Chain A
Amino acid sequence: MKQQTILEVKDLTKYFVVGRSIVSSGEVVKAVDGLSFDLFQGETLSFVGESGCGKSTTGRLVLRLIEATRGTVSYKGRDVAKLSGGELRKLRREMQIIFQDPWSSLNPRLTVGQIIGEGLRRNKELSQAERKRRVLEMMETVGLRPEQYGRHPHEFSGGQRQRLGIARALIVGPKLVVADEPLSALDVSVQAQVVNLLARLKREMGLSYLFISHDLAVVEHISDRIAVMYLGKLMELASKQAIYSGPRHPYTQALFSAAPTAEVGRPADRVILSGDVPSPLNPPPGCRFHTRCPHAQDDCRRLEPEFRPLESGHWVACHHPLARG
């Protein structure tokens, strides 16, 4: 069966201008620079990378929460940027976001019922009673108790707030959910509850996830495919199995080998990178990773590698990809 494409992203680019003032025209941060990828119906595509790589900006661009500098995002064949206000609002019901910080993303003045039910308010055909019934049903789905309907967010723990954020996103019946670091504010023992919840909801509601995370253990668990970003560019995109059995980009290899596992002792195959991520204000010429790459050669410093398929479904931006694992 051929997989159906739900989202098609081409040459997506976002430049931010920072430090603009009367005396200076500012500098340009290339936060996301020419990203192209597809998202298939029913899959979890994870975006990983270090801080400042542009993974969160990508999520916001896809939902048109910020406007792209260049490039297109097509949802089920329709260019999201060309939609009118009314059409965009309709589409937003199908595309939702779950935020990282359940403390700052929930309005503290509203009750649980109001927060979750907000998305249904535009639907004038729903009676008050019907709206409440749907909210209670959604609360049960995400593991909140009915008596919590009238409570306020501050009365909840981090894990419960994240359930609240999930309920709010899912009540309008989305098809695509952007989950931006939904677990990083949670305790280890609570994280597993939310991971399982997200996996169950995906199965039951036929969702597709664009999952943004820096936690590689969670990514390894939850993803179908993985996209690796570095300084605004895609470095590698492939199935989870391909990435874990044999990454072809030296950055992917270093990134995944650096993640601590619950195995005793230091992993023997760890690649330690020298230095930190360069500033996105002034990314290195040629391949952006060459300043930290243990395999960098002359051409890497001069020529920007093309993002190309090495084999079916396995894309890499590297002049000298690693041998197959």
Chain B
Amino acid sequence: MEPLLRIEDLQVNFHTTQGVAQAVCGVNYHIDPGEVLGVVGESGSGKSVTALAVLGLVPHPGRIAGGRIRYRERDLLNLPAKELRKVRGDRISMIFQEPMISLNPAFTIENQLTEALRTHRSISKQEARNRAVEMLAMVDIPDPAKRIRDYPHHLSGGMRQRVMIAEALLLDPDVLLADEPTTALDVTVQASVLDLMRRLNERIGTAIMLITHNLGVVAESAKRVVVMYCGRVVEQGAVGEIFGNAAHPYTRGLLKSIPRPGGSELYEMKGIVPSILELPQGCPFHPRCPQAMPRCVREQPPWRELAAEHHALCWLYE
């Protein structure tokens, strides 16, 4: 199967007063039609910046310094602005962690939903409204014909995130980029939003890229997982492989440090995530790695295939 979206050797640099920070450093991964891909990483791993780069939304002072983002044979990084607009928000859409920031407080839900529809499609106001109501019903908003007249502040956090999902899916996109979509939500609301995303994925076949720091969310939702650390993909594979047979010492450490029942001591990864302004030489994980070897300190690790569809960026598998 041909991938829907393919990120190739992506480089994103942030030009700060303290120097150039490599936020994304040669990232490669893809997403297949209709799949749920989990992208996990801690703060500074580059997981969100990669997604923003797909839509051409890298914030200042970031700049895409190299690579390609292929969507159906086209490189989004070299697309004229007019062409990019047809893809962005239409074929590829995105939702964010904090729905209150993404929704305009001065407009009703109806204004915001129909604006997107009427910008991208030539349809009447009435048609747009019907489609918006239909979408709100699909994301389990009770009494959608009435709620559509509300302003964002009338809605609870869970409802707002549902409205964001409805807006993102209005144009029936091929891919939904979801950046920490449930992080600001309570755990019971998180469960229902994840359940909704899973049902929508099955029903309308939109591929979902689920970006999160929460390994539990990925374990229960994704088919395939990409693990990022310091702007690099350090491991990727099927969800069963990653959680049952992790290869990279970072992935293993993350999994072992999740609290589990029973009071015994938790596994501690030593040290902290380094600042992207002061990345260590060689493998960026080596100062924290329990299996670091002399060459890890000096040389960038290779990307090795361990099994079908299971890769790791590590000298251990040389």
Contact = CB atoms under 8 A, between A and B. Distances in A.
B99 interface: no
Interface in A175-200: 187-193, 195-196, 199
Interface in B5-56: 42-43
A257 B217 CA distance: 13
A259 B243 contact: no
Contacts of A244: 261
Interface string A242-271: 001000000000110111111111110010
Interface string A60-73: 00000000000000
Contact of B187 (A160, A196, A222, A255): A255
Given A192-B267, A196-B265, A258 B190 contact: yes
Q: How many residues of A sit at the interface, in one of the four size bands? A: 35 or more
Given A188-B257, A266-B198, A273 B266 contact: no
B292 to A, nearest CB: 16
B44 to A, nearest CB: 9
B268 A260 contact: no
Contacts of B265: 196, 199
Interface stretch (A20-28, A117-125, A211-219): A211-219
Contact of B268 (A192, A216, A264, A273): A192
21 contacts: A50-B187, A50-B188, A51-B186, A187-B42, A188-B254, A188-B258, A189-B257, A189-B272, A189-B273, A189-B288, A196-B268, A217-B258, A217-B259, A221-B266, A222-B263, A254-B188, A260-B216, A266-B220, A272-B188, A273-B188, A277-B188
Given A188-B213, A189-B42, 10 more contacts: A187-B43, A187-B273, A188-B258, A218-B259, A222-B263, A261-B220, A264-B220, A272-B195, A277-B156, A277-B186
Interface pairs A-B: 9 shortest CB-CB:
A260-B216, A221-B259, A258-B191, A192-B257, A50-B186, A276-B156, A192-B266, A187-B42, A189-B269
Interface of A: 50-51, 157, 159-160, 187-193, 195-196, 199, 214-218, 220-222, 240, 244, 254-255, 257-267, 270, 272-274, 276-277
